[in-house]
Structure 1
Amino acid sequence: MSNNKPVILIVETLDTKLPETLYLRSAILSHGACQTKILDVGRSQQVDDNILEIPQDELVRPLKDIGDELSKLSRGYYSDKAIATCMPVVRDLVNKNQVHGIVSAAGSTGSSIASALMREACPVGFPKLLVSTMASGDIKPFIGEVDITMMYSVVDIAGLNSVLKQILTNAAGAISGMTLAHAEHSKEEKVKGKRIAITMFGVTTPCVDHIRKILTTTPHDVSDYELYIFHATGSGGKAMERLIEEGQIDAVIDLTTTEIPDELFGGVLTAGPDRLNAAARKGIPVILSTGACDMVNFGPKDTVPEKYQDRNLYVHNSAVTLMRTTQDENKEIGNFIVKKLKGATDPSKIRVLLPTGGVSMIDAPGQPFHDPQADEALFKTIADGLSDTKIEVFQYLEKVNDEAFAAQLCDHLLEVMGVSPREARLANARRRKWSFDHGATLHAVRRASQIVVPDAA
């Protein structure tokens, strides 16, 4: 097999989908741009004569030696066994750059197997296409927080016909184009600066806008930092945790930790119990705050659980209802944060900044969720819980969306990253190729870069 063309991995159950697999393979190869490998995840591993059409170096069959075992398992247990056995195989192919895209055409069971391999063995950005009979329903179990593209098969993948042939032809073109584009992009695109993740919600957007402006204007340069904004909707938090685990994030401003109250109190936007794990485990710089921890998210008002109907509810829009957290609930949120941060591999890389003026746009004087006592319960729980650690906790009088608070978040992050204000300004001067002979201009830069400590009151 030639090595100068990208390779697309086709994941199929050859015992039930062999004709469709061969058609998809032929459609991909007809473009002449990509090669193929076929991963057989079928329950029966009996060799059909038609499999002989596939060159042996193109066929991957990790389940071959456990075929008898698989045939005796229920459908659910077979799926789990197939995923567990094939996962390291796919991960190895991806990590060794032996495949450059992945595609599958499947029913419900095959979609479960293929999507699991796509989610867990392939990094974000790696081309993933799933043609599925399940694509017109709830696709969250298949997609998760990963960039899988799903295409509805319209007809069942149970025998070739003109409709399915057209859809598989389209799928072949789509995965071929995605794989070629990814291969070219990988050659050209290089990360230009430190990759910083920032969590955001609608009620903390002004703060994030301030942060973006601060980190991409003088004394910083656009190429200094690449900012990744994650919408804290559950999937957003999971996606950030995943990218951190994959080593694609260098530092985090975890401004908006609202997914934690949703996890604790039954909200619809939870990121799961592992939220905050990745960065603490990786030991990268983290500046954490409590943005939007004043709320739990539900759907339309009539979907709020009965036990919460008498609470302080705020209808954000027809699809979203927010519930104000109480003092006791905020203590639980604080304890969750403390427990996670105490497990950090490098506590010196973590700082917690608390905006005592309010943690969201609607937690401010005159706003519906303004409750200083509830906020104080959260802040005190965190401060007390971390008092015996090397993690520093800072409290500021500003509201979370104040520009001054955003500036503090940035200053602390740069300091933890080892970038002092003076170093940043002088680096910017060098980048612009200012000579030391520029006299007054450079002296002004130097003077501006000095850290001024105000007189004690």
Structure 2
Amino acid sequence: MVREGRPRILVIGTGDTKADELTFMRERIEAVDGRAVMMDVSVLGDPPYRPEHDRHAVAEAAGTTIDAIAKSGDENSAMTLMALGASQLARSLYDRGEIDGIIALGGTMGTDLALDVALALPLGVPKFVVSTIAYSHLVPPDRIATDLMMILWAGGLYGLNSTCKAVLSQACGAVVGAARAVVRPQAERPIVGMSSLGKSCLKYMVTLKPALERRGYEVVVFHTTGMGGRALEAIAAQRGFAAVLDFSLQEVANQHMGSVVNSGPDRLENAGRSGIPQIVAPGAIDMVDFPTWQPVPARFAERPYHAHNRLLASVTSDGETRREIARAIAGKLATASGATAFILPAGGLQQWDQEGEPLHEPDALAAFIEEMRETMPESVELHEIAGHINDDAFCAKALEIFDCWVAEGIIRPGVAG
């Protein structure tokens, strides 16, 4: 549904140092028939314009005063408090129906604050950050909101110029357009979150998605190449799923092995922390991803290697490494407060580890299976099958557990179509 009326865009920045840029953004938002609502997050001074939400209101939303923030110790602690206030105030404005989207401007300080504000708002609220560190590895996956949009603030170190005007005007047009066009999630049926790694590596979603849809559920599948798992975790943290089928855990392996292709340290934790019923399986944990354009990590120099494309490459882990990953998985599952089941497919974990395929390493697989049996918490239902994760038997076991939990009232029943 396209929103009627002028989209109200919350414009966030430090007006004492970036007044020219922020007022230019206000003009561009108004020029495309949006309405700019200014929030000033300055600490040391007031802007030369009157914002709808000044720095004192931001400090008050953090439960303090601007004077106390200025005296808090250093610039990091001050901006952390301003980030808290900005996040609380932005969420309150959204809940009261006073804003339709946000755009924030900043260097590392402003970006740090803007990331918190974006995380405070639900999926479907347009969130745009204009940043001097857009796309940088300085931004960890767990700080990125599910539907965050970013653009590099080129030429934005000091004052307006033709280069940064081009960037700022695009950003303003984008956020107004997003606020007009967005179709916000409407949970007409209970949502099941599912993880997978493509359709060639892991095939179960081809069977499970239609089977669950026939049962009255909406199925949302996340591609586990770092940010897909981040999105799953973020929605789980907001209790956005009736159940989670987390069957692709490669991001857990990546995080454990120090790869930048990860979803943050809380991968495989938020569904359990939120009490969401989860059925888990160790899909693709035998592979560790890293950027193709970087050297192969020394630990994996002698391991089988595959360049998926010019961005992403994978190596396989040996038996001892897989034991480490098994213990990491077990440790995360032990923290779950909701119903948790684990399906252990002893016949293999991804398409290319089967007999006759290039990544077939039965001894390393056996080491992982053995470690999982030994370390699985008693609070987790362990279901072992002899077959491969891509076999029909795996899907049958997943549906058997799911249907049992629905019958027992652990998972909310689906809505008939």
Tell me the TM-score range normalised by the shorter chain: 0.7 to 0.9
Q: Secondary structure at the match of 1:16?
A: coil
TM-score, normalised with respect to structure 2: 0.84
Q: Given residue 44 of structure 2, which amino acid in structure 1 is its aligned partner?
A: S
The one-letter amino acid paired with 1:273 is P
What are the Cα deviations for residues 216-249 of structure 1, in whole angstroms up to 9, with x where unaligned? Answer: 4xxx16xx22211111122221211110111222
Whether 2:325 is the aligned partner of 1:333: answer yes
Whole-angstrom distance in 2 between the partners of 1:168 and 1:298: 33
1:194-227: CA deviations, max 9, x gaps?
21111111453322222224334xxx16xx2221
Q: Counterpart of 2:262 in 1: which secondary structure?
A: coil
Matched, 1:363 2:362: no
Per the alignment, residue 215 of structure 1 pairs with 212
Higher helix share: 1
The aligned amino acid for 2:374 is D
Which of 215, 225, 240 lines up with 2:217 in the alignment?
225
Q: 2:390 matched to which residue of 1?
A: 401
Change (3 A) 1:227 1:78: same
Q: Which entry has the higher C-alpha Rg, 1 or 2?
A: 1
State whether residues 199 and 231 of structure 1, in contact with CA within 8 Å, keep that contact through their aligned partners in structure 2.
Answer: yes
Amino acid at match of 2:405: V
SS at match of 1:129: strand
* Secondary structure class of the residue paired with 2:351: coil
Q: Is the 8 Å Cα contact of residues 115 and 145 (structure 2) preserved in structure 1? A: no
Q: Name 1:126's counterpart in structure 2.
A: 125
Deviations 1:152-192 (A, max 9, x none): 4443264445555555444333322222333xx34xx6323
* 1:71-100 superposed Cα distances (whole Å, 9 cap, x missing partner): 896554443343234332223333443322
Equivalence map 1:434-453=2 (5 Å): none
Matched, 1:258 2:250: yes
Q: Which moved more, 1:35-44 or 1:305-314?
A: 305-314
> What letter corresponds to residue 358 of structure 2 in structure 1?
P
Distance 1:225-1:204 versus aligned 2 partners, 3 A rule: farther
The offset of 1:266, in angstroms, is 2.5
Determine the C-alpha separation between the residues in 2 that align with 1:139 and 1:181.
31
Equivalent pair of 2:105/2:129 in contact (CA under 8 Å) = yes
Contact 1:297 1:320 in 2 (8 A): yes
Unaligned runs of at least 5 residues, structure 1:
432-457
- For residues 336-377 of structure 1, the C-alpha deviation after alignment (integer angstroms, 9 at most, x for no partner) is 22222222213xx22111111111111111223223332233
Q: 2:190 aligns with which of 194, 197, 201?
A: 194
After TM superposition, give the deviation of residue 13 of structure 1 in Å: 0.8
Give the match's secondary structure for 2:18.
Answer: helix
Q: For residues 319 and 167 of structure 2, what CA distance do their matches in structure 1 show? A: 55
Corresponding letter in the other structure for 1:209: V
Greater CA drift, 290-299 or 265-274: 265-274
User: Aligned residue for 1:303?
Assistant: 295
Native 8 Å contact 2:201 2:352 kept in 1: no
Match of 2:343? 353
Find the residue that maps to 1:44 and give its secondary structure.
coil
| Structure 1 residues 380-412: Cα deviation after superposition (integer angstroms, max 9, x where no partner) | 3333333633x2211112211123322322332
Distance in 1 separating the partners of 2:311 and 2:167: 34
Matches for 1:66-105 after TM superposition, within 5 Å: 66-67=66-67, 70=70, 75-105=75-105
Residues 227-242 of structure 1 correspond to what in structure 2 (within 5 A)?
A: 227-242=219-234
Amino acid across the alignment from 1:399? H
Output the CA distance in 2 between the equivalents of 1:171 and 1:270: 27
Tell whether the 8 Å contact from 2:10 to 2:36 is kept in structure 1 after alignment.
yes
> Do the aligned partners of 2:288 and 2:317 also contact (CA within 8 Å) in 1?
yes
The TM-score, its normalising length taken from structure 1, stands at 0.77
Computed over aligned residues only, the root mean square deviation of the Cα atoms, in angstroms, reads: 3.3
Provide the rounded CA distance (Å) in 2 between the counterparts of 1:153 and 1:316: 31
1:43 touches 1:71 (CA, 8 Å); kept in 2?
no
